């Protein structure tokens, strides 16, 4: 599996509250997660780090069995995000400094033939081919609810002053509803996981043009996407994870 994992503090924020991780298990399953933390002081980066650690520990513990089925993969993604939710909520409840902290999560478990996506919040997953970009996740946000109900257009939502208000996050409540799905996967497809620091700054057409460029390596494409977000203003932390199937590749990357 070819992987690229990049995170940038952006041009405005004082601290990077995004965390991401990519790893491959002995059974060939690849795992990836992007978490975009929120909360006062440094609570956001604590929440996102807790989320990544809990997710990673849960999946490395349970997903390494041979012949993992799709149903088992879905259950494990759901279980791992639930564990992250419990960990963050418990710390926030026990320490006033972390009151109300939380994080988004978009995570993937990649197996031969399909990828299982779990998400909460407005960090996104896209599947890209040479000619198309498909948004796999639906933002759990106020403006997306208003778009779905016909009260806002897509264009109005993109510039709405409350576009960062989430309707669902990890760690803010004792239990959280997690969206999980399986998507067909071909070796030439590219999976993009990202925080809203990318999607608020860079259009889907720009993402497709960068990823479909056959001249660049995957890591260069991730750097290119970060650079586009910075050039557009970089008013939030920006995290990009790209994954593409390729024989004989094994690596692990962590960014913060």
Q: How do residues 126-161 score in pLDDT, each as one tens digit?
A: 999 999 999 999 999 999 999 899 998 888 887 788
Q: Decide if 169 contacts 154 (C-beta within 8 A).
A: no
- Give the sign of the dihedral formed by CA 253, CA 33, CA 103, CA 202: positive
Predicted pLDDT of residue 41 = 65
**Count of CA atoms in the C-beta half-sphere (13 A) of 160:** 19
CA distance readout (Å), 89 to 37, 47, 104, 105? 13, 9, 13, 14
User: Residue 255: pLDDT above 60?
Assistant: no
2-137+167-248 CATH choice from 3.90.550.10, 3.60.40.10, 3.40.430.10, 2.40.10.480: 3.60.40.10
Give me the mean pLDDT over the 229-254 stretch.
78
Domain residue spans of the chain: 2-137+167-248
Give me the mean pLDDT over the 85-109 stretch.
95
Question: Would you give the DSSP letter of residue 155?
Answer: H
* DSSP SS3 for 184: strand
* DSSP SS3 for 45: helix
- Pairwise CA distance, residues 86 & 82, whole Å: 6
What six digits make up the tokens of 191? 């999976």
Residue 247: band (very low, low, confident or very high) from pLDDT cuts 50, 70, 90: very low
Q: How do residues 35-94 score in pLDDT, each as one tens digit?
A: 999 986 679 999 999 999 999 999 999 998 888 999 999 999 999 999 999 999 999 999
Residue 250: band (very low, low, confident or very high) from pLDDT cuts 50, 70, 90: very low
User: Residue 164: pLDDT above 90?
Assistant: no
Helices (H), 149-190: 154-158
pTM across the whole model: 0.93
Q: How do residues 199-240 score in pLDDT, each as one tens digit?
A: 999 999 999 999 999 889 999 999 999 999 999 999 999 999
């Amino acid at each position: 599996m070819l992987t690229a994992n990049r995170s940038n503090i952006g041009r405005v924020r004082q601290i990077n509250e995004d965390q991401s991780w990519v790893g491959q298990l002995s059974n060939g399953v690849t795992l990836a997660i992007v978490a975009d933390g929120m909360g006062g002081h440094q609570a956001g980066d604590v929440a996102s780090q807790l989320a990544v650690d809990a997710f990673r520990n849960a999946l490395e513990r349970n997903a390494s069995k041979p012949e993992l089925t799709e149903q088992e993969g879905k259950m494990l993604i759901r279980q791992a995000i639930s564990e992250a939710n419990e960990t963050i909520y418990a710390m926030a409840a026990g320490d006033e400094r972390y009151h109300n902290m939380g994080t988004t999560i978009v995570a993937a478990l990649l197996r031969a033939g399909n990828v299982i996506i779990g998400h909460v919040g407005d960090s996104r997953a896209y599947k890209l081919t040479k000619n198309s970009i498909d948004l796999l996740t639906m933002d759990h946000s106020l403006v997306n609810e208003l778009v779905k109900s016909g009260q806002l257009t897509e264009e109005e939502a993109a510039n709405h002053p409350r576009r960062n208000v989430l309707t669902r996050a990890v760690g803010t409540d004792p239990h959280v509803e997690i969206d999980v799905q399986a998507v067909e996967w071909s070796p030439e497809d590219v999976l993009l996981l990202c925080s809203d620091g990318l999607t608020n700054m860079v259009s889907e057409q720009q993402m497709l043009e960068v990823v479909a460029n056959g001249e660049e390596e995957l890591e260069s494409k991730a750097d290119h996407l970060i650079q586009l977000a910075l050039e557009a203003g970089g008013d939030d932390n920006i995290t990009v994870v790209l994954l593409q199937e390729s024989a004989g590749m094994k690596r692990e990357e962590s960014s913060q």
